[in-house]
Structure 1
Amino acid sequence: MSLVALIPARGGSKGVPRKNLALCGGRSLLDWTAEAALHSGVIDRAILSTDDDEIAEAGRALGLDVPFLRPADLAGDAALMLGVLQHCLAELRRAGATIEAIVLLQPTSPFRRAHHVCESVARFRETKAQTLVSVVRVPHRYVPEGQMREKEGRLFPYFGGGIGRVTRQDKERLYARNGPAVLIVRSSVLDAGLLYGDVIVGYEMDELSSFDIDTPEELRLADHLLRTGYVR
Structure 2
Amino acid sequence: MNKVKYIAIIPARKGSKRLPNKNIKNLNGRPLIEWTIEAAKNSRYIEEVLVSTNSEVIMEISEKMQASAPFKRPEELSTDIATTVEVLVHAIKFYEKKYMKEIENIILLQPTSPLRTSHDIDNAIQYYEEKGANGVISVSECDHPPLWANKLPEDMSLDNFMNDKYKNIRSQDLPTYYRLNGAIYIWNKKCFLEEKQYFLKEKTYAFLMNKKNGIDIDDELDFLIAQTIMKHNSNH
TM-score normalised to structure 2 length: 0.87
Which residue of structure 2 aligns with residue 104 of structure 1? Answer: 108
Q: Which residue does the alignment assign to 2:188?
A: 186
Q: CA RMSD in A?
A: 2.2
Q: Is the 8 A contact 1:133 1:182 kept in 2?
A: yes
Structure 1 residues 168-177 or 198-207, which shifts more?
168-177
Corresponding residue SS for 2:101 = coil
Q: 1:226 to 1:58 in 2, by over 3 A?
A: same
User: Aligned pair 1:163/2:164, yes or no?
Assistant: no
Answering whether residue 119 of structure 2 is matched by residue 115 of structure 1, we say yes
User: Deviation at 1:77?
Assistant: 1.1
Do the aligned partners of residues 157 and 34 (structure 1) sit closer, same or farther apart at CA in structure 2, a change above 3 Å counting? same
1: CA distance between counterparts of 2:171 and 2:200? Answer: 32
Letter in 1 for 2:136: L
Shift of 1:36: 0.5
Deviations 1:108-128 (A, max 9, x none): 111111100000111111112
Most deviating of 150-159 and 120-129: 150-159
C-alpha deviation, 1:162, in angstroms? 5.1
Helix, strand or coil at the partner of 1:182: strand
Question: What is the CA distance between 1:154 and its match in structure 2?
Answer: 4.5
Amino acid at match of 2:54: D
CA contact (8 A) 1:135 1:176 kept: yes
Q: Which amino acid aligns with 1:8?
A: P
- Taking only the aligned residue pairs, the percentage that are identical comes to 28
- Aligned partners of 1:159 and 1:56: how far apart in 2? 50
Q: Residue 63 in 1 paired to residue 66 in 2?
A: yes
8 Å contact from structure 1 (residues 3, 44) kept in 2: yes
Indicate yes or no: 2:76 matched with 1:45. Answer: no
Q: Does structure 1 residue 76 correspond to structure 2 residue 79? A: yes
Between the aligned partners of 1:27 and 1:36, the Cα distance in structure 2 is 14
Residue pair 2:145, 2:171 contacting (<8 A) in 1 also: no
- Contact 2:152–2:161 (8 Å) recurs in 1: no
- Choose from 138, 141, 146 the match for 1:143: 146
Shift of 1:155: 3.4
Q: Structure 1: give runs of 5+ residues left out of the alignment.
A: none
The answer on whether the counterparts of 1:29 and 1:107 sit within 8 Å (CA) in structure 2 is yes
Shift of 1:170: 5.1
Q: Check the 8 A contact 1:157/1:163 in 2, yes or no.
A: no
Summarize deviations over 1:9-52 as a string: whole Å, max 9, x none: 11122222221111111111111001110001110101111111
1:172 aligns with 2:198: no
Partners of 1:88 and 1:46 lie apart in 2 by 11
Distance 2:22 2:193 in 1: 27
Q: 1:60 to 1:154 in 2, by over 3 A?
A: closer
Question: Number of paired residues?
Answer: 228
SS in 2 for 1:225: helix
Alignment map for 1:6-17 (pairs within 5 Å): 6-17=9-20
Give the Cα separation in 2 of the matches to 1:27 and 1:18.
13
The Cα shift of 1:161 comes to 3.6
Rate the CA distance shift 1:138–1:231 in 2: closer, same or farther, 3 A: farther
| Correspondence for 2:227 | 223
Q: 1:214 aligns with which of 214, 218, 233?
A: 218
Offset, 1:173: 2.6
